Structure 1
Amino acid sequence: MENWITGLRLIQRLEEWAPKKLAYENDKIGLLVGTLNKKVKKVMVTLDVLENVADEATEKKVDLIVAHHPVIFHPLKTVESDEGQGKIVTKLVKNDIAVYVAHTNLDIASGGVNDMLADQLGLDETEILQPTYSEPLYKLAVYVPEGYIETVRQALGDAGAGAIGSYSHCSFITKGEGTFLPGLETHPFIGFPGKMEKADEGRLETIVPEHLIDEAIARMIAVHPYEEVAYDLFPMKNVGKEYGLGRIGKLAEPVPFEDYCLQVKERLGVDGLRAVGPLEEKVQTVAVSGGDGNSLVPYARLRGADVLITGDIYYHTAHDALLNGLKIIDAGHHIESVMKKGVRQYLLKAIREEAYDTEVILSESVTNPFHFM
């Protein structure tokens, strides 16, 4: 019997980690080719979707490609099957291979591309380099009869409500008296239909991040004894969890910039890199960003970074960084291929949790367009 997860469910799980709302405006993310309305026997994870990747996916009978870089970034005026992007799209469609892209949302997500790079570089005490999004918070208040307050409080905490910093299950309870008149067709937990009733209740308050609202309310209602649960939901101005581009952290001890460049080359597995700044000076505070890091140069300077490691840096941006005392390592855009193993591990975990047999493989095709001579 086939026991394969659907494309829709798999992507729902992926978006729990890297929701679309984290992505930059106008970023080309999500489903770009094919359909997710099908069973998925085999998934392939890749950095880029080039023609050789499409051929590999066809040969390996892949149903869904999960990529970091969009297969279609600029709108196509035509789809010609024998040239350009049209060749890739045609092969994918012919072989019923869907392509889903998680780009800047995966860069920004906790544990995403930039955290993977920071981990691979051995950085400690990492923080977000450029905050881009703060999750809205809500105050949830629910009225619970005596004897059930602890049950409801526990359910909300287990759903993730009441998390403040390193503390969980935080709440506040105010005791009072609730009144209600059950309708004639009701089956009240307390009292009788058509008779005004009073009950000793507690107002249970807790804080809920936006993405957990539905889950928290569902769990609350599931254990609440009342037929109709009275609760309030208030938006708050408190700052929720922050997300953003890049990471900044520290090395265990200062090292000469030249030595550190060689360490980065080895840790990221690149054939060569470009370095900007005096090689004899020491570095310890390190900023990192996969992909184009030009916009992050001012943030790296303001946060006191000694060096910014990135995938692309412009000639004149390098001049500006040099003038302002910021060293730069341009290790090439392909360093983002670190996402392949990370995404595979996440998808496999999600598939196993739901007891499916879908296979997840890594693309073996070379997509780095550069050679070091």
Structure 2
Amino acid sequence: MLRVKDIVGWITEAYPPSLAEDWDRIGLGCGDPDAEVGSVLLAIDPTADVVAEARRTGAQLLLTHHPLLLRGLHAVRRDEPKGRVLFDLIEGGIAQLAAHTNADSAASGVSDALADVLGLIDRRPLQPQPGPALDKVVTFVPPEHVEAVIDALADAGAGAIGDYDRCAFTSPGTGQFRPLPGAEPFLGDVGELERTPEVRVELVLPRGRRAGVLRALRASHPYEEPAFDLLELAAEPSDAGLGRVGRLPEPLPAREVARRLAAGLPPTATGARLGGDPDRTIATVAVLGGAGDSLLDDVLLTDADLYVTSDLRHHPAQDFLARPGAPALVDVPHWAAEWTWLPHAEQMLTRRASEAGAALTTTVSTLNTDPWVERFGG
């Protein structure tokens, strides 16, 4: 039988917490990590109606995109909205787990799910996260000791690149030094200048392995005082980050892109709204699930012809569209845009449960938790 902590582990691997914004409150918001789980309900919002659905379906875990406790509570009362939800979760024996901005930025997360609606290809993050922090260690070793030093550094975590390990670069040269009084040199004599063949050895390493690699270098190097350089490498952009930028399979007028997008999203009262020239030809599209006007300046730095996001405010949108050559805008309902991620997350849970040989029932909620329920005029 699976336990809550097993599902938490799967979510952590798929949507690393390190990708979350520092203001976010992701992870297990309510529940016992050791409680058994046979059924999961997936939804965008942890509202009272969604919790009631979880109780009806017999779910022991509610996986939501939005956190339940994003802002601090000073009291848990049944007569207040958050308190009522907490009471219902606890009384129903239901844990609540949130994957929010970590799922926004992760590969195969919210941004990719929204990009899938338009079939975008050749995708890249709109605001990429930096790749892993790497160092390079460079040392100088007598030729007959090179392999032993490389082995020791590799065992300490250096020299791994993708599916390869023990990756190193070596080049011959000449080293020189003069042992001073008190030294016990491996080569040469105290007070005498020594020149000797040496091999320059270079390996990359995760920055978190720095201390262990340097200990291994000093322990394996034959010199009493080995010379080395430790260089911090510039991080490459990763395939994770907020938003996605990609190409349409074929260019389309802006109004047609907006129509296709609206048809591919769950129906809502407000629907999609297009800003800019409806006849403009769109080849490249930037998307961001959830509120996205904070990334308007980032969009201007791309080759996007159209930006799709939610919760665009009047003045930022107006000012953006007034810029020469600015992309068109499509504003889509927040809930609808992010709902596209739920089937992806469900597939991941189903696959992980199958790999673990565990029985798990999953249900994607279709309950519309968009706050707007009816539209008038316009």
Query: TM-score range with shorter-chain normalisation?
Result: 0.7 to 0.9
User: Given the alignment, which residue of 32, 35, 39 partners 1:38?
Assistant: 35
Match of 2:334 in 1: 333
2 CA distance for matches of 1:343 and 1:35? 21
Residue number in structure 2 paired with 1:184: none
Deviates more, 1:287-296 or 1:300-309: 300-309
Aligned-partner Cα distance in 2 for 1:265–1:309: 11
In structure 2, relative to structure 1, the CA distance for the partners of 1:125 and 1:49 (3 Å cut) is same
- 1:349 Cα deviation after fit: 1.4
Aligned residue for 1:14, secondary structure, equals helix
Distance 1:290 1:357, change over 3 A: same
Match of 1:113 among 88, 110, 119: 110
Give TM-score scaled by structure 1 length.
Answer: 0.76
Structure 1 residue 21, shift from structure 2 partner: 1.2
The answer to whether structure 1 residue 75 and structure 2 residue 86 are counterparts is no
Cα shift readout 1:128-167 (whole Å, capped 9, x = no counterpart): 11124432135699xx998xx99x99xx99xx9412xxx7
CA contact (8 A) 1:254 1:284 kept: yes
How many angstroms apart in 2 are the aligned matches of 1:344 and 1:275? 31
Q: Which moved more, 1:115-124 or 1:127-136?
A: 127-136
1:49 aligns with 2:50: no
Query: Partner of 1:239 in structure 2?
Result: 235
What SS does the aligned partner of 2:116 have? helix
Alignment pair present for 1:354 and 2:356: yes
SS in 1 for 2:308: strand
Question: Any stretches of 5+ residues in structure 1 without a counterpart?
Answer: 176-202, 218-228
Letter in 1 for 2:111: N
Q: Which AA in structure 1 matches 2:352?
A: A
- In structure 2, C-alpha distance between the alignment counterparts of 1:206 and 1:37, rounded to whole Å: 42
Amino acid in structure 1 at the alignment position of 2:332: A
Report the count of equivalent residues: 324
Secondary structure of residue in 2 paired with 1:77: coil
User: Is the CA contact 1:113–1:339 (under 8 Å) kept in the aligned structure 2?
Assistant: yes
The Cα of 1:63 is off from its aligned counterpart by 1.4
Supply the distance in 1 between the matched residues of 2:291 and 2:363 (Cα, whole angstroms).
Answer: 27
Larger-gyration structure (1/2): 2
Q: Which residue does 2:275 correspond to in 1?
A: 276
Give, as a single letter, the amino acid of the residue that structure 2 aligns with 1:369. Answer: P
Deviation string, structure 1 residues 11-31 (Cα, Å, up to 9, x no partner): 112211211111101201111
1:289 aligns with 2:288: yes
SS in 2 for 1:65: strand
Q: Equivalent residue for 2:16? A: 19
Cα 1:318–1:241 change in 2 (3 A) is closer
Letter in 1 for 2:334: H
Q: Which amino acid aligns with 2:372?
A: F
After TM superposition, give the deviation of residue 291 of structure 1 in Å: 0.3
Q: CA deviation at 1:307?
A: 1.0
* Segment of structure 1 superposing worse, 337-346 or 8-17: 8-17
Describe how 1:159-178 pairs up with structure 2 within 5 A: 161-163=160-162, 171-172=167-168
C-alpha separation between the residues in 2 aligned to 1:321 and 1:75? Answer: 34
* 1:22-52 Cα deviation digits (max 9, x unpaired): 1101201111112212222222211111111
| Equivalent residues of 1:140, 1:205 under 8 A apart | yes
Q: Using a 3 Å threshold, how does the CA distance of structure 1 residues 302 and 343 change in structure 2: closer, same or farther?
A: same
d(CA) in 2 for partners of 1:9 and 1:140? Answer: 38
Query: Counterpart amino acid of 1:55?
Result: A
Matched ranges for 1:65-144 at <5 A? 65-137=62-134
Q: 1:209 to 1:240 in 2, by over 3 A?
A: farther
Q: Is the 8 A contact 1:209 1:240 kept in 2?
A: no
Call closer, same or farther: CA 1:161–1:63 in 2, change over 3 Å.
farther
Counterpart for residue 363 of structure 1: 365
SS in 2 for 1:305: coil
Instruction: State whether structure 2 residue 298 is matched by structure 1 residue 299.
Output: yes
Instruction: Using the TM superposition, give the Cα deviation of residue 328 of structure 1 relative to its aligned residue in structure 2, in angstroms.
Output: 0.6
How far residue 209 of structure 1 moved from its aligned partner, in angstroms, is: 5.3
Query: Deviations for 1:251-298, whole angstroms, at most 9, x for unmatched residues?
Result: 133221112211111123444211111112221111000001101111
**Alignment partners' CA distance in 2, 1:17 and 1:204:** 36
What CA distance in whole angstroms lies between the structure 1 residues aligned with 2:137 and 2:5? 30
- TM (normalized to structure 2)? 0.75
Query: After the TM superposition, which of the residue ranges 73-82 and 337-346 deviates more from structure 2?
Result: 73-82
Shift of 1:124: 1.4
Cα distance between partner residues in 2 of 1:170 and 1:305: 41
Change (3 A) 1:161 1:60: farther
* Contact 1:135 1:241 (8 Å CA) reproduced: no
